[in-house]
Amino acid sequence: MPDIIYKIILVLSLVILALFAFCALWVVFLMINAALINPKKKYPKHSKYNRFLLNFSTMVALPCAGVKLHVSGLDKVPKDTRFVVMGNHRSKFDPIVTWHVLRHYDVSYISKPENFKVFCFGRIIRKCCFLPINRSDPRESLKTLIEAAQLLKDDKVSLGIYPEGTRSKTGELLPFHDGTMKVAQMAKVPILVVTTRGTEKIASDFPFRNTDVYVDFIETIPVDYVVSNSSHVVAARVRSDMEKILGTTEVKEEFADPKVILNN
């Protein structure tokens, strides 16, 4: 019996060492790839190679971070057209979780400039057609939205946008920036509405607890509705869809523990 236990411990130790070695090599590999990307250049062409690096890294990182995904409504994702996916924003993990779930659809995000300085990935996402947006400059923001619409028109990628513009600290939906609807309107593509719940707990739960994260695709707003209504009307429908899942009762119950708020 002691020999069997010894062998089991030895095998487990070798497996753990092999995993650590693989992760270390993968990080070095990412660093080499990132070093070849110009951090000041915009890349209008989508790189499937860098998309693979992004997707594989995410696929490994989320389980390692203890994330347990619960996904509903995937049948509502458009299969034959590009789209704009719009969701609520509670955590920096929201886009990571969403692009992982939609990894077969090449979703890129309009994101704040700071995210393009993140170690390795800040450069890799440039090659995946992610776009930085300067929220403090309306003219530059409009240019970014026009670029995003062009990517959709050219069938390069689908786009992810957070109409709140920033993360909510309480879980309640913040006021929407109606202008974000113009990307779908200019490109004449549908809007996929999604909500994420639980992402705000990932950082505080790690490494001692797993985190249940819920991703719910609510509906795809058809092109006809998107282009025939004002940005304000479309934004109101997107918000109403989200509120079906993120109701007042759910928000109060989920954020009843003050520690959750303090950790965000």
pLDDT of residue 250: 45
Containing 98, the helix (H) or strand (E) segment is helix 94-101
pLDDT of residue 19: 84
pLDDT below 50 — which residues of the chain?
Answer: 248-264
pLDDT of residue 16: 85
End-to-end CA distance of the chain: 49
Rounded to whole angstroms, how far apart are CA atoms 231 and 86? 14
pLDDT of residue 43: 86
Q: Helix and strand tally (H, E) in the chain?
A: 11, 7
Other beta carbons within 10 Å of 39: 11
Other beta carbons within 10 Å of 61: 13
Query: What would the two tokens of residue 33 be?
Result: 């790839």
pLDDT of residue 260: 32
pLDDT of residue 183: 97
Query: What would the two tokens of residue 18 be?
Result: 């092999």
What are the angstrom distances between the C-alpha of 152 and each of 117, 178, 217, 231? 25, 19, 20, 18
pTM of the model: 0.87
- Give yes or no for a contact between 218 and 194, defined as CB atoms under 8 angstroms apart: yes
pLDDT of residue 247: 80
pLDDT of residue 1: 53
Strand partners, 196: 215
Question: Exposure of 212 by Cβ count < 10 A (0-12 exposed, 13-18 middle, 19+ buried)?
Answer: middle
Percent of the chain with pLDDT over 70: 93
Strand partners, 216: 72, 195
- Give yes or no for a contact between 149 and 187, defined as CB atoms under 8 angstroms apart: yes
| Cis amide bond preceding 2, omega within 30 | no
Rounded to whole angstroms, how far apart are CA atoms 77 and 137? 33
